[in-house]
Structure 1
Amino acid sequence: MEPLNVSHPRWNLDQMHDDWRKGKIQGHTIFVYSAFLDERNASYPFIRVLSASPQNYALDLPHIVCDIFQEDGQLLATLPINIQFRHCCEKKPYFFLSYECDLSRTSKSIRLAAEWVSLKSINPPDQTNTSTPNLKIHTLPRLNSKDIAGTFVVCVRPFFRNWNSTFQLIEFLEMYKILGVSHFVFYDYQIGKGAKIVLNHYEAQGLVTVLQWTLKLSTQHILAIGQIVSINDCKMRAINRFEFLIHVDVDEFLLPRNDLMSLMI
């Protein structure tokens, strides 16, 4: 097995810009986390905004649009929205909602200049309480099959209740390294001091990315501290950066069979 190139620039997941932000649209409190420009389908480029939205908010979706801005905050365009995916739990007041800001009618120059995105209502307009805070737009890298061949990323759901099992965390990281994993993505909701020291050590080596997850919703409000949002966020960050992705908890191990020594076939 070839040694890991943990300093590969394509694995920079740009975690500095993202965390949960709260906004209100027509009286509904919603939370937005991250946004990604996806141009893989040339006929339908879009910006995907990942959110935790209240279930009663769905009635107002036809009135929601996206504003996109350039670096200095100047408005570039207002875009229609499509709802690509939603995951709800009947007993929870909030659910995961993915908004797609449709860029198909915009020019390439506008897409290149777009740096920030926010959501707002246009019917009826409300100038004092109508939009979410701006999110930094992440651009997916172009696919280079040779560059990502054999790479494997592991995504782990948000830690909570000051999770602090340092030995278990080291075992998890080292075991998956042996199995051929290239990179790990963690979400910091509530991580204990010892576990943070471990993650900082591996992050300094380029093996781990830790994203902040200060979602102001409890498990009573949304399923597993917004786990479905973290799954989709990690998927978006991995596109065209890694060949394979798995989503597991730190007490779960996928083991190869038939005398194989790694997860790579």
Structure 2
Amino acid sequence: MEKKGKFKVLLVLTFMAIIIFTLFLDHKDNHKHNTQATPLTRAPVTNYTIKIQEDLYSITPIKDSEHFMVSAFIDHRLDGAIRVISIIKRKNLQPLYCVYCTTKHDCKTVETEVQIHTDHFSFPYGASDVICKGKNMQRATSVAITTSKKDSADLRTDYLEIKNKLVTDNFKYNFTVCISNLFGSYNNVLQFAQTMEMYKLLGVQHVVIYNTSCGADLKKLLKHYESEGLLEIVSWPIDKFMNPSPGWNIKKHKGDLHYYGQLVTLNECIYRHMYQSRYVLLNDIDEIIMPYKYSNLQSLMEDLQSADPSKGVFLIENHIFPKTQFEDSGKFKRKEWKNISGINIMEHIYREPERKNVYNPTKMIVNPRKVEQTSVHSSLKNFGGSYHVPFNVCRIVHVRVPLQGSLTKEQLFVDKRVWDFENDLIPNVDRTLILSGLLKDSS
């Protein structure tokens, strides 16, 4: 009898548990239904579901198209229009519309002007600006680019937060370096550490990298600089959306978009820092924009701007220091760096001569508030014009594979500018490598 009684109690408890679980599921469904029926989707004028896209994932497909939006900014130079940095498939461009919202319930739709940048290097996709003009845009907080112009449409799409809403000359940084793309298994740790520490000595307070992928050791170094507060890493998963080209020449490097979207990220970086940084340096990860006439970037720019305050783009010549030619004494061939991957720029003091009738590409220092569109080596649209900085005033130290590989060491120029910083540079690099877990502390 005791066994039958226990069985009945167990049966009753099981039945009650089933009823409670059923009631819980019913409550959850009702809650979900009520959430979907919020006033946001029943707005009297518009019917938009606003979902702000996070910066961490910085590429957003435009629904029902082959295009992408990246980030949105108020452009106060264009009477407060909204500029959406975008990636447009050039031959598949249909009419696009801008949906901008001042509140969750107040959204308006306007036509757009799509400006595909002239430097696309014949790749199918190109860096572009989608310009939205309308009333009260400076009050808008979010925006989306759509293929539909109907206000009553139920547009369930991702929205971008609109930045640069306020004009200010109270800049957080004096100098920001924008490094356009990091991809593949790039693991040039030593050169990157030396470059970052050199820039700190020159007066840079902020560095931005658009990161698709990199090597394991470099990832540790990036994490250190990020925790230190110097480095901002912008996730750039362009390879999840298309087949980006690893080069600039479409005949040699096939793909959908030039050099992992380099032109997109350079323009994005300028607008991102328009009211954060007084100046922005646009260069690659293995380049240093090096003042020769001055001890730091601040002194350089004060002189250049005082000579012509209207200029906003300063072109800096690129000069190659072949990594195949080493300084003879070996004074900087340090045993501490023996097992650190990458190039030791202090060993390479030989500079290639300029070639007659061959274009020497430049990189740039820009006032971001005077740039509308940029390419890699020059500005496409700017306010105030460009200035070519003389070779003896400032030039790029670019340690890499030679362009003139047939030249002997005697045919190269000795350029020891980096050595001027050795007393601070070497211990700072050591400290960084130790803190990154890449070098053992021998002290």
Q: Please say whether Structure 1 and Structure 2 have the same fold, judged by a TM-score greater than 0.5.
A: yes
Partner of 2:6: none
Partner of 1:133: 158
**Residue of structure 1 aligned with 2:100, choices 68, 75, 82:** 68
Q: Does 1:257 align with 2:292?
A: yes
Partner of 1:235: 270
RMSD of Structure 2 on Structure 1 (CA): 2.7
Alignment check: 8 A CA contact 2:178 2:209 kept: yes
State the distance in 1 between where 2:130 and 2:88 align: 11
Alignment check: 8 A CA contact 1:18 1:136 kept: no
Q: Could you list the per-position Cα deviations for residues 137-181 of structure 1 after superposition, in whole angstroms to 9, with x for gaps in the alignment? A: 22344222xx33981110001101122222121111101111111
**Residue of structure 2 aligned with 1:31, choices 59, 68, 75:** 68
Secondary structure at the residue paired with 1:151? strand
Structure 1: stretches of 5+ with no match in the other structure: 1-14
Alignment check: 8 A CA contact 1:35 1:136 kept: yes
State the distance in 2 between where 1:88 and 1:257 align: 31
Partner of 2:110: 79
Q: How does 1:1-265 map to 2 (within 5 A)?
A: 16=55, 18-25=57-64, 28-41=65-78, 44-58=79-93, 60=94, 63-70=95-102, 72=104, 74-89=105-120, 91-103=122-134, 106-107=135-136, 111-112=138-139, 114-122=140-148, 133-144=158-169, 147-148=170-171, 151-215=174-238, 216-217=241-242, 218-219=244-245, 220-258=255-293, 260-265=294-299
- 1:20 maps to a residue whose letter is I
Structure 2: stretches of 5+ with no match in the other structure: 1-53, 246-254, 300-443
Larger Rg: 2
Partner of 1:10: none
TM-score with structure 1 setting the length: 0.78
State the distance in 2 between where 1:90 and 1:151 align: 32
The structure showing larger relative contact order (alpha-carbon pairs under 8 Å, at least 6 residues apart) is 1
Alignment check: 8 A CA contact 2:202 2:296 kept: yes
Alignment check: 8 A CA contact 2:76 2:167 kept: no
**Which structure has the highest helix share of the two?**
2
State the distance in 1 between where 2:262 and 2:168 align: 27
Secondary structure at the residue paired with 1:225? helix
State the distance in 2 between where 1:188 and 1:206 align: 17
- 2:297 maps to a residue whose letter is L
Secondary structure at the residue paired with 2:181? coil
Secondary structure at the residue paired with 1:164? coil
State the distance in 1 between where 2:86 and 2:212 align: 16
- 2:298 maps to a residue whose letter is M
Question: How many percent identity over aligned positions?
Answer: 25
TM-score with structure 2 setting the length: 0.48
State the distance in 1 between where 2:192 and 2:296 align: 20
State the distance in 1 between where 2:194 and 2:269 align: 22
- 1:263 maps to a residue whose letter is L
